[in-house]
Amino acid sequence: MKKTNDYFKFQVIYFVFVAASGFFFPYFNVYLEQELGFSGSDIGLLIAISLSTSVIISPFWGAISDRTGKYKSMLKCLLVTYSLAAWLLFRVDTLFWVILFATLMEAIGIGLSPMLDLLAVDYCERSGKDFGKLRIAASMGWVFGSYATGFLVATFMFDLSFAMFVPLIGLMLLALVLANFIPNVEPKNVRNEGADDAEATEKPTIKTLLQNKAFIFLMIYNFLTVSIIDSVAAFAGNHLVLTLGAEASAIGWMNVFAVVPEFILFFFATRIMMKIGFKRFYLIALGTLILRFALYAFTNNVLVFLLASTLAPFMMIGAIIGNFMYIKRHVQANLTGRAFMINAAILTLGRATYSLLFGVVYEWFGSFMLFKVSIAVFVVALLILLPTRHFDVFDGQPLHVTGLPEQ
């Protein structure tokens, strides 16, 4: 019974935590442009500075948590300081102070999701639960939050800033309360399957990770794909509202169209990966991503844009379940926390790089060009993915999110 209750607790905190993000992030760039009057270059500079700083900070969160083993305490500390940083950002409206507090918020926030994911993955491995199905609660939270912001603005005429910041801060504080009831990571005195005994007992260092070719491959792939998705998503609201002329509520509908299919796919994701192979799943995901962005790039129709968003789930599930299992399979246990944080840091570095570029592209060439540039980078990722053999350790062998394949 306790395991079942713990699983439900994780579902609740995921829903609350991701709903908070859903209230805020899909609308942040629209808020900066519409309410604060920032230009595309201003937005790109703000995002680039805040994300670049968080890249430097990220490994420290992983190092501290790995060294102390107090992952839950670290999560709670980050939730408190993140809420404070969000309140400070809410109170300012000039470029310097917005950059300062957005940077503080991002530097703290980069540790939040990986820390919660690490706690959840560890629990699923120990209890025999499916991490993929657990993440359904997160998808539901994202749909709820992103739709609710547009609903509050359109129906009750709330200021966009109020509809974004107040729920964000309130739900993050609620997540802080809920974090007291989830289980912590249990100390691991044994190695990951597939790791050498000497490797498992050696002193964990960042150098060890940087010498792991399989891990480096995943970081490059994520830099060329997931980072771009996140960067362009930040401008998707601007594209819908300011370029295509849709209402603000269309941003919420975009997330509904993108995430609802995830609910269904999450139930079968692990089984599909086992059946067709991880590499083939990643290829399908990348193919649907290219098709989705091609539709974005060449349509002026809001409905077509929304329908194209239904192609998102394969790529998102690969980035969530596939990437976490890949790291768990290729990285020794005493480096897992740092690996998750470095993965987050690489994604953030990519977002910083692309956001600076896309801010200029958006200002000078318009939002359609963002999708066209992205497609060119996705093709590069496809050319890297096709010949790789780093997925061979998965494909053709039994694999479950709670267990690793025998060698």
Q: What is the pLDDT of residues 356-382, one digit of tens each?
A: 888 889 889 999 999 999 999 999 999
Task: Categorize the per-residue pLDDT at 161 as very low, low, confident or very high, splitting at 50, 70 and 90.
Answer: very high
- pLDDT score of 389: 85
pTM for this prediction: 0.72
- pLDDT score of 396: 46
SS3 400: strand
Per-residue pLDDT tens for 61-93?
877 877 777 889 999 999 999 999 999 999 999
Please give the full DSSP string across 157-193, using - where no structure is assigned: ---HHHHHHHHHHHHHHHHHHHHTTSPPPPP--SPPT
Q: Which domains does the chain have, with CATH numbers?
A: 2-185+192-385 (1.20.1250.20)
- pLDDT score of 114: 83
Share of the chain above pLDDT 90, in %: 37
Quick check: 275 pLDDT over 90? Answer: no
Quick check: 283 pLDDT over 70? Answer: yes
- Higher pLDDT: 237 or 399? It is 237
For the chain, give the mean pLDDT.
83
- Residue 120 burial (CB count, 10 A): 25
- pLDDT score of 191: 39
Per-residue pLDDT tens for 165-223?
999 999 999 999 999 999 987 665 443 444 444 444 455 566 777 778 888 888 899 99
Query: At CA 170, angle to CA 165 and CA 172, rounded to 5?
Result: 95
Spell out the residues 6+ positions from residue 330 whose beta carbon is closer than 8 angstroms to its own.
194, 212, 214, 215, 218, 390, 393
Least confident of 127-141, 237-251, 317-331: 317-331
**Residue 221, both tokens:** 């792939």
Spell out the residues 6+ positions from residue 59 whose beta carbon is closer than 8 angstroms to its own.
206, 338, 341, 342, 345
Phi, psi of 400 (to 5 degrees): -135, 155
